[in-house]
A and B are shown apart, each in its own frame.
Chain A
């Protein structure tokens, strides 16, 4: 896949008439681009400020660098446990959703099943149900299944909710693939499971990566359900673990809030910076719907 622009560089000049307009739009978007980076700057500087400075000088550079906020944030809250839990919830959800979701998408798009259209519509309803609406019945269900005090208590509901968008995206992706793929495998004598694992799975990889990222964003930052279900300390994810900071922001001090925000967002940021090229690749795959 080529990452060069749609147009050859030499044709640049024809794209915007007049250099003034060109300059204006560039200035505007560069400014906007900088605002996109602002949160990072804000979190970093905030985390280095003392409590009083954070109020007096909310946007400027810190006058003295106060690293204490980090050690305090790390020691006061079980950062490592919460972090580990967040990782478990996120990867667990990703694995389960992608495995089951891609199989269903394969079934709906490539197999001959008379309920294909009905099921596609049925699953697409999942896009519309916000998790917040069903917190109470979900809680009762999880309790009844006796998975409340385990990581599965959150992973399974999260997966249930993530499946809809995963199936829809992969469905669109799979439909665009040529039929010859399986025919070749078929002639080689492979059965459907082998074909799926050896041929289809690698091909849908870009779309799976997109889903990975989307699910990661969603689950890493999820709060309402985790707050109710992950009640035991050893199962709390970061969002809930930092409740004291995040809910009643302002009661405690901003330096600490900044530090804890930064610590909890850092994994996201790192994953993003490392995988950014891949993510973009994957978005391409995802964007070609139907």
Chain B
């Protein structure tokens, strides 16, 4: 299944290159480029050569974007590289890999501290506030209202930050990402267990799965990834969605009994052996592999992996089961997006107009990619809607009607320090050697020092 997708990707890449080289017939340097070598900078370097020869007036742009996950690489190779020259002929764009996560944040921080920010970059909640305070991030509202890009969004208001500015452009695919529990139907059958509807049932079936020699569930735990990004939030909201919504908007804290129960549930999960040994040090890749190779029966993961996982017919998903009657999976759900995640423009760029155009192009490339995977997006590409896989259809049918969508705690409530400390504390919880009470005491202190809501 993996090799198939790779072959398909190669084919697609080769054909796009073929098409683009056919289009630019007479452009010798480009057609000399071997078609099995669609490497990013080779192409852009060749382009540079052309441009200096033919048109020296091109405006130089520097872009730093995410480069570490599979989706991002696909977007770069299939949607950005092949089309950028024709879409933005007056620009000479240099892409700089940003890595991801911590590396990306460190890099942007260093660049910002030395006044060397790129023209366009991937913005993230982790470094948004300080970037804004130094004027390194542009309010895009006037630009995108004027050129009509704003109208391409299904819900334009969703782009607005709390201060009503628009700082980032994205495909809107983010708002359709939510954590669910993926599982292998055949493994459940083999163990003779049903999809659980309550938290207690979840524990029960995990014990059964474990007794059959399977790993019940896996999720990335290294550096507290899972706990920070969704697990804590899920474990709180399956008991009391209102408490979770209040926490996201800073109306309550870690003294709230409903909030405290969240950490206690994680402790229970770990103690009851729902996760494999060493979950606190399992990275994203190995966690995925444990599930796709059927060592683990369940994978707790965001739906951005759904298109990949849906290729295996035994994979299905269910929402997080409830722990009290205050919660129902058809009434409440966590959504991922944040208006500040997306392509942002440097407030100090020399060519804001062109930089915004570039950001728009990049956001559209994202949209085209996610659309091609069958994922729902909110930036309209003007293409016909694609056929969705049954699993994606099942997801959309479940997700869209849910009335109460709670924003992600990790993206919408934490300053850099709080975010880092939650990672630390969350990883601690996963060791099973750290009591939920200690977690809540520590979190309360960290939460009281959170500067996110200071404005």
Binding site for B on A (CB under 8 A): 50-52, 55-56, 75-78, 135-136, 139-140, 143, 227-228, 231-234, 243-244, 247-253
Contacts and interface: CB of A to CB of B under 8 A. Distances in A.
B452 interface: no
A228 B112 CA distance: 12
Contacts of A76: 39
A247 B39 contact: no
A223 B3 CA distance: 32
Given A78-B41, A250-B283, A136 B97 contact: no
Interface stretch (B78-86, B226-234, B285-293): B285-293
B73 A244 contact: yes
B289 A227 contact: no
Interface residues of B, number: 33
Given A232-B96, A251-B284, 12 more contacts: A52-B293, A75-B37, A136-B114, A228-B106, A233-B41, A248-B69, A248-B99, A248-B285, A250-B283, A250-B289, A251-B68, A252-B70
Given A77-B39, A232-B94, A244 B68 contact: yes
B42 interface: yes
Nearest to A50: B3
B45 interface: yes
A63 to B, nearest CB: 15
7 contacts: A143-B116, A228-B106, A233-B45, A234-B41, A243-B67, A243-B103, A250-B283
A253 B288 CA distance: 12
B160 interface: no
A109 to B, nearest CB: 39
Interface string B84-101: 000000000010110110
B114 A140 contact: yes
A227 B103 contact: yes
A2 to B, nearest CB: 49
Contacts of B97: 243-244
Nearest to B41: A233
B96 A231 contact: yes
A136 B111 CA distance: 9
A250 B285 contact: yes
B455 interface: no
B113 interface: yes
A75 B39 contact: yes
B107 interface: yes
B68 A247 contact: yes
A51 B39 CA distance: 21
A287 to B, nearest CB: 38
B284 A136 contact: no
B36 interface: yes
A244 B67 contact: yes
Closest 6 CB pairs of A and B: A250-B285, A233-B41, A248-B68, A251-B285, A140-B114, A250-B283
Contact of A56 (B41, B70, B293): B293
